């Protein structure tokens, strides 16, 4: 009897250790190549998978396509947007998705990545990481490693060894987006919505017209609303905090009913390439585009 109890205890201990060390599943979508050859994009994707594989049980979306007709069909259709990736990973009972793109403009490389949760209150993009560099192939490998670690909140000596040629955006697009809830917002009744989570005050009703980035900055600076005149163009992080994938457009339409399922300017920009970050409220994604383009704008101010 005593031996049986010892055996049961050891078996339970072994089972608990196995459970503790089991890695969470993570589906990785190969990097989307923009003005970068497919071989380079695939090689960088493999490096990112290797780094993430140290912390997660990595499942390649391309490999999953061979096991599931649903994944195969979605992959053939493109499946680059957040909603599609959530559907694919959810069908395979995978809780997290890593996706991104590698682009090149002149000699400047830009690597953007997103970490997406497919279930629970934090459904949607929960982390973003981005970095730029004018670099060699060897430095590009190090860049992909750094961004992969940033994406999952890890640090290493790689991040301290960034290339001297690295160029960063004014406001680095690395952000954790909090889950939204009805209790989070308060309508102040003067055209202003208060976000009680961040303390920011938002313009509720926006102009139906589109602006260039410079025009958007001026519009916000000149705005007088609710007795306040200290409005400004929100940063990427501030604007992304409004994203809520439970709605279409991807914002709490109970408080922001006039929001367009389209791009909105943020202040976050990179002078060297004359681009600024846009947040797309059709799917909640963000990307950099030329400042001369046009998009909608929503002003913000800090609560006193």
CATH code, 202? 3.10.100.10
Range of the domain at 281: 182-302
Asked if residue 73 and residue 147 are part of one domain, the reply reads: yes
Number of structural domains (the chain) is 2
Strand 96-105 to 25-28 pairing = parallel
Distances (CA, A) of 6 to 1, 20, 135, 205: 9, 21, 59, 68
Question: Are residues 155 and 187 both part of a single domain?
Answer: no
- Is residue 29 domain-shared with residue 151, that is, in the same domain? yes
| pLDDT for res 251 | 93
3-state helix, strand, coil in the chain (%, to 5): 30, 25, 40
Domain containing residue 81: CATH number? 3.40.50.10610
CB 124 within 8 A of CB 83: no
> Do 234 and 156 fall within a single domain?
no
On whether residue 10 sits in a domain, the answer given is no
**How do beta strands 96-105 and 57-60 pair?**
unpaired
pTM of the model: 0.49
Position 4 scores a pLDDT of 53
Planar angle of CA 293, 125, 215, nearest 5 degrees? 20
Length of the chain in terms of residues written: 304
Is residue 153 located within the same domain as residue 199?
no
Strand partners, 96: 26, 117
> Each residue's pLDDT tens digit in the chain (304 positions)?
454 544 454 455 555 444 444 688 999 988 988 888 888 889 999 999 999 999 999 988 877 877 777 777 777 777 767 888 888 888 888 989 998 888 887 778 888 888 888 887 778 877 888 788 887 777 888 888 888 988 888 754 434 343 333 333 444 333 333 444 458 899 999 999 999 988 999 999 999 999 999 999 999 999 999 999 999 999 998 999 999 888 889 999 999 999 999 999 999 998 877 899 999 998 888 889 999 999 999 999 997 6
pLDDT of residue 123: 80
Q: Residue 269 phi/psi, 5° resolution?
A: -150, 170
């Amino acid at each position: 009897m005593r031996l049986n109890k010892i055996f049961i205890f050891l078996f339970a201990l072994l089972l608990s250790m196995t459970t503790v060390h089991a890695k969470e599943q993570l589906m990785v979508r190969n990097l989307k190549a923009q003005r970068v050859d497919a071989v380079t994009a695939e090689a960088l994707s493999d490096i990112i998978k290797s780094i993430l594989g140290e912390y997660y049980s990595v499942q390649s979306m391309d490999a999953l396509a061979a096991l599931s007709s649903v994944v195969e069909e979605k992959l053939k259709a493109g499946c680059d947007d957040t909603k599609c990736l959530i559907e694919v990973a959810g069908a395979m009972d995978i809780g997290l998705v890593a996706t991104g793109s590698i682009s090149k403009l002149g000699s400047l490389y830009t690597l953007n990545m997103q970490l997406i949760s497919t279930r629970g209150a934090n459904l949607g993009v929960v982390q973003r990481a981005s970095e730029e560099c004018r670099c060699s192939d060897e430095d590009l490998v190090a860049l992909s490693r750094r961004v992969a670690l940033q994406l999952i909140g890890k640090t290493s000596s790689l991040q301290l060894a960034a290339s001297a040629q690295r160029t960063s955006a004014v406001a680095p697009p690395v952000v954790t987006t909090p889950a939204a809830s009805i209790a989070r917002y308060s309508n102040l009744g003067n055209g202003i919505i208060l976000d009680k989570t961040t303390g920011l005050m938002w313009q509720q009703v926006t102009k139906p017209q589109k602006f260039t980035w410079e025009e958007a900055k001026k519009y916000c600076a000149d705005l007088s609303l609710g007795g306040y005149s200290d409005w400004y163009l929100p940063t990427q992080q501030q604007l992304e905090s409004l994203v809520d994938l439970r709605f279409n457009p991807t914002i709490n339409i109970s408080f922001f009913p006039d929001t367009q399922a389209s791009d909105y300017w943020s202040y976050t920009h990179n002078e060297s390439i004359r681009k600024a970050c846009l947040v797309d409220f059709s799917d909640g994604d963000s990307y950099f585009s030329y400042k001369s383009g046009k998009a909608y704008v929503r002003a913000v101010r800090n609560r006193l």
